[in-house]
Amino acid sequence: MIDYKKETLFVEGVSMKTVNNTVDTPFYCYSMEIMVRRYRALREALKSQRATIYYAVKANPNLAVIKTFANEGSGADVVSIGELHRCLAAGIPTNKIVFAGVGKTRAEIAEALSVGIYQLNVESEPELQVINEIAMSLGVKANIGLRVNPDVDAKTHAKITTGLKENKFGVDLIRAPSIFKIAKSLENISLKSLSVHIGSQLLDLEPYRAAYTKVAEMTLHLRSLGFQIDHLDLGGGIGIPYQGEISPDLNSFSDIIQGTVGDLECELSFEPGRYLVGESGILVTRVIYVKKGRGKKFIIVDGAMNDLIRPTLYDGHHDIVPVQQFDQDTKPYLCDVVGPICESGDYLAQNRMLPKLEENDLLAVKSVGAYGAAMSSTYNSRPLIPEILINGDSFSVIRRRQTVQENMGLETIPKWLINE
């Protein structure tokens, strides 16, 4: 739970003022209780299905977050060798890891096959051939799924839509039979699975119905051609309310699954990320200056676009609240909450009504547990900021603040640039 107690913002049983005294701002803070509650709610909604949840690591790859889901029995959906290593370090069993992505390198494929992951999701014919070649050299049979593109509009932001024909993801659905035929001829390939993922931050469930219906029809068609299909990877993308929207109903989601693919007697996989972690996190930042502009004020804070890129990259809205609650009679005023980076796109919010703020006031940016720290950078040579995990009345620093020296640590100056 993230709420006020005696006018101070708490995450579960810990005051954000207490955390601030330990690590200083800006910092990310996550509620483990919210993550676990979300995971269990989804697991309960899917209990009538033969389903496995694979946490989409890209949403928040912190080792402690992955471990939280590993302890709940979750698998993992990864898209890089780095994410694979994170999952292994956090205790995800290799046979509960799915490796997705359109551009897996030969080195990534070889390592994934060597450790024995559950499935590689293939997104092109050239990739299929490469996997077979590498599997042959390793003396193993690669268990793969074919990601298909159903050409379904997910009704979400254009940059996170992945199931339209113009998107780079998956193969055209109608080409699936020909690829299955090729796969059948490859000695080191086992293809018995279809995969689909149409986008992220879906609040409307109807695109799922449309995509799953197409997948079900293709499954039946492939079976009629003599191909075995016993597993469907149905992706993720369930959205969360950033701006007062209504979250998708999980029981309705389960009904759609049952009504589309429920009679196919397939094992099912789901890959939620944002839904599990998004609302668990806040970004706490400090007011540096309050600057008067023309028609509004600029609240200049120590958090910046390198810490949270979603507002400027995706036009993402995040509610912002003061850590110390103000008197209800305090008149709000129009302002932008901006960072210290030298870009006009460096903002956390624009045209918001906030109470009167002063230097050193703390603000909390809400619903940043997904694609917040995961997408942060060191732009302007700003060190990566801490991440905190709350468990009841306890908290732990699960990523300390990077130092300036660490920020520069991978770089060297060539000898020929140094005057002797």
Active-site residue numbers?
A: 342
- DSSP-derived letter for residue 332 is P
Closest C-alpha to 346, from 372, 314, 298, 311: 311
The β-bridge partners of 353 are 334
Closest C-alpha to 337, from 302, 295, 294, 306: 302
Residue whose structure tokens are 């590689």: 120
The β-bridge partners of 52 are 269
Closest C-alpha to 196, from 84, 106, 98, 279: 98
How far is C-alpha 25 from the chain's CA centre? 23
What is each CA distance from 220 to 34, 209, 213, 234, 261, in whole angstroms?
39, 16, 11, 16, 10
Residue whose structure tokens are 């796109």: 345
* Helix (DSSP H) and strand (DSSP E) numbers for the chain: 12, 21
Alpha helices in 13-62 (DSSP H): 16-23, 32-45
Rounded Cα distance between 50 and 48, Å, is 7
The β-bridge partners of 5 are 8
Rounded Cα distance between 62 and 281, Å, is 12
Rounded Cα distance between 97 and 88, Å, is 9
With contact defined as beta carbons under 8 Å apart, do 64 and 396 qualify? yes
B/e letters for 352-374, b = 16+ CB within 10 Å, e = fewer, are bebbebeeebbbbbbbbbbbbbb
- Dig out the tokens for 19 from the structure: 């955390």
Rounded Cα distance between 115 and 122, Å, is 18
**Residue 132 backbone phi and psi in degrees, to 5:** -60, -45
